[in-house]
Amino acid sequence: MGNCCSDVSSGAIAGVGGTASSANLGTTNDAVDHYLNSKGFNGLFSHVELSFSASDLRDCDVLSKVIISDGALNTICYVVSIKRTDETFLFFFFFFFLIAEFRVYDVDTKYQNSKQEMLKLDDQQFLGEATCVLSEIITKSTRTITLELKGFAAQTQQHHNGKLIIHAEESLASKITTEIVFRCSSLESKDLFSKSDPFLVVSKIVEHGTPIPVSKTEVIKNNINPTWKPLFLNVQQVGSKDSPLIIECSDFNSNGKHSLIGKVQKSLADLEKLHLAGQGINLSLPTNAGQKKVLKSQLFVDKFTETVQHTFLEYLASGFELSFMVAIDFTASNGNPRLPDSLHYIDPSGRLNAYQRAIVDVGEVLQFYDSDKRFPAWGFGARPIDSPVSHCFNLNGSSSFSEVDGVQGIMTSYTSALFNVSLAGPTLFGPVINSAAMIASQSLAQGSRRYYVLLIITDGVITDLQETKDALVSASDLPLSILIVGVGGADFKAMEILDADRGERLESSSGRVASRDIVQFVALRDVQHGEVSVVQALLAELPSQFLTYMRIRNLKPIPL
């Protein structure tokens, strides 16, 4: 089998894993795995088996050439054989939001015993081709799609070339989740007048050696012998069961400058052995001399179990939808939209500004999982014509409904709004979050199988931090995730507080704690020149947030 993996850095990659893959449960596509692992995308994909069969072909032996494209002429190609019309060929693939092109060839008899990588497709008779978006297959309840094979686009006369039937099945490896309960003993007190407030961060190590966080515990206050709530990890997130993990124990500080108490490096396999042996391992700290100082503090694994869990893809195939919503910052700090230095400037050449790019990149991914493609769209921080400053107005100008048709509808309404409102301020998130939460709440009450994703794009620091926290804590019980993109050069530290990735869960003014983390924040300047796109960074946690909600409410993916 031939594998080749190209540079897909300009493509839209999104995570749908969220669940586990266990080592040695199948044969992976090594080239794809190597590429994704080297980029640090271990948790962003699932292995999917695509099986092929064909019907109504001429009496011939057949090859299928599969070309996966991100729309920018970047391809990953795979050649498989389909003998006659009744057999299938299985291979593992990853789940990208990409376009797949399938080409079918009649194989000359002299190549019948040749290795597939030695075949010259230019010497074979082309029978037809078909194209689809991979997500079209994944979201069907049957996970099967039938495509009509067509001749090359350049051919003026099209003939009936038969059909290609493709079935997708998520591998068993993708459904195995590891539940781990960590405990520490004799932790050092980092606080002057009290005990530490410890939490754990589990990070994987990518090829270039950089640790990337994949999971974290809650913060346990004033405790040097903590036992944390279970963590749910999967091999797909971390690379393999033998991949090294860094487990850091830190003392939480509200200013975000957490103090490292100690750390260990172990794989999932090592952690399982610790659990079975009932033993702990000493934490250590790096010294200025480049050595390790071994501490008396120890890490224990009180629970380590592997179970089959429902996956993100199973929920999508059973009829659950992702419904996209967007809220755009129209405050005056963005600059005059008519001037080229404004973040809202509409370039006559068609070059997208930061707001437009975020809308397109995220919207074009999520729209595949919304059947009606009607998206609520709001603006905030502006003064509509003959009205006071509004912190949640309908982008389409309507006074009665907020929905627009598709991503293009958002783009059109956004451009129109720029010329029909006056930029003002301040920057408040509470009203738009509450509007999104109201829609999610009404949908939940109606028994709808929808999970909402609100994209907030902003250029500045919010001035209603506590009100926003209150709204987020309330919304954490609803089928809702919130993606925040920071554009421009502002100080976004307040946004990092909302995204509780490295600290404790948000707390409302009444003392209520969020039931789960629903926020993912990305500063555009931090990713626009790197190997990870804004979409990859934003959607990295969406599957796990979705699955956490489903587990809390005990919702199962009921087949259609």
Residue 79 has pLDDT above 60, yes or no: no
Query: Tokens for 310?
Result: 């429902």
pLDDT at 539 over 90: no
Choice among 40-54, 126-140, 264-278 with the minimum mean pLDDT:
40-54
Q: Are 458 and 486 in contact (CB under 8 A)?
A: yes
**pLDDT tens by residue, 469-515:** 999 999 999 999 999 999 998 888 778 788 876 557 899 999 999 99
Residue 388 DSSP SS3 = coil
Measured distance CA(201)–CA(47) in Å, rounded: 26
- Give the phi and the psi of residue 494 in degrees, each rounded to 5: -65, -35
Phi-psi map region of 231: left, alpha, beta (phi>0 left; psi -120 to 50 alpha) = beta
pLDDT at position 69? 47
Instruction: Please give the torsion angle defined by the CA atoms of residues 285, 286, 291 and 296, in that order, rounded to the nearest 10 degrees.
Output: -10
pLDDT, average across residues 371-388: 94
pLDDT at site 172: 66
pTM of the predicted protein model: 0.72
Nearest to 30 by CA among 101, 75, 87, 94: 94
Stretch (H or E) spanning 285? strand 280-286
Rounded to whole angstroms, the Cα distance separating 228 from 340 reads 51
Q: In the chain, what are the domains?
A: 48-170 (2.60.40.150), 176-308 (2.60.40.150), 318-552 (3.40.50.410)
% residues pLDDT > 90 (the chain)? 45
